[in-house]
Amino acid sequence: MLVVFMLSALPKGKDPSNDTHKKGLRTVLKLIDTHEPSELGDQRTAITSFGLKNWQDALHEDAAEFAPFFARMGKLLGPDYAIAQPEPDPYNLHEAMQRLLLQEIWRMKDANETFPLDSAQRDYHYDTSEYSATRPGTLLKRTADAESREHASKAKKKARTEEKEAARKKREEDLVKAGARRSTRLKEKK
């Protein structure tokens, strides 16, 4: 949320038509909008691996001073903490984010900076024919998509289970038939 807000924010009093960083902005917002975690991977790594230059290109030129903050945030969010040994404290990432935010606030305080923003001003239009993470309704769309995928996954699992059960029954029937034939042959030999 912080990332989308800062990307779409325009410094107060600035003319949106003079924004020279629209291409970088559109690139980042498209990555955010099309992000869908799946079993095959998570495309957020593209955003978390952004370097200083990527963030400078995406933020409004007057907000480029925040690029180092977002680059550090990406480095913080990049690692897969679930596989770390020993396992980190459950609040590790939360506390690290707090420290990062407080460092940025302190940096602004030391520089005696204020940065008034107008979040409704920056123009970042691009094709949103599917849906967008930056407008209402996305959660419902993604929830419906997830439920649809979950339903399909459950149906596939059920079909596989039924196939396995049918194969097991067939093997049992074949064993019973083979056993009956042996019994018959043994009786005939006697």
Give the domain extent around 164: 136-190
What domain count does the chain have? 2
Find the range with the poorest average confidence among 58-72, 74-88, 174-188: 174-188
Using CA atoms, how far apart are residues 76 and 47, in angstroms rounded to an integer? 12
Shared domain check, 167 and 88: no
- Let me know the angle formed at the C-alpha of 62 by 57 and 63, rounded to the nearest 5 degrees: 70
**Average pLDDT of the chain to the nearest whole number:** 77
Determine the average pLDDT of the residues in 43-65: 82
Highest mean pLDDT among 94-98, 141-145, 154-158, 180-184: 94-98
Shared domain check, 140 and 126: no
Looking up tokens 């309704």 gives 137
CA dihedral 16→19→23→26, nearest 10 degrees, is -30
DSSP string, 101-116: HHHHHHHHHHTT----
Are the beta carbons of 9 and 63 closer than 8 angstroms?
yes
pLDDT recorded at residue 121? 62
Chosen domain end from 130, 163, 178:
130
| Tokens at 140, concatenated | 């419902």
Pick from 65, 28, 60, 30: nearest CA to 47 = 28
Shared domain check, 174 and 116: no
pLDDT recorded at residue 102? 93
pLDDT recorded at residue 42? 62
Shared domain check, 159 and 119: no
- Looking at the predicted structure, is the pLDDT value of residue 7 above 50? yes
pLDDT recorded at residue 16? 73
Shared domain check, 54 and 110: yes
Per the confidence metrics, is the pTM higher than 0.75?
Answer: no
Determine the average pLDDT of the residues in 163-168: 92
Question: How deeply is 165 buried, as exposed, middle or buried, from its count of CB atoms within 10 A (0-12, 13-18, 19+)?
Answer: exposed
Shared domain check, 150 and 96: no
- Let me know the angle formed at the C-alpha of 126 by 47 and 6, rounded to the nearest 5 degrees: 45
Determine the average pLDDT of the residues in 41-55: 76
Shared domain check, 23 and 107: yes
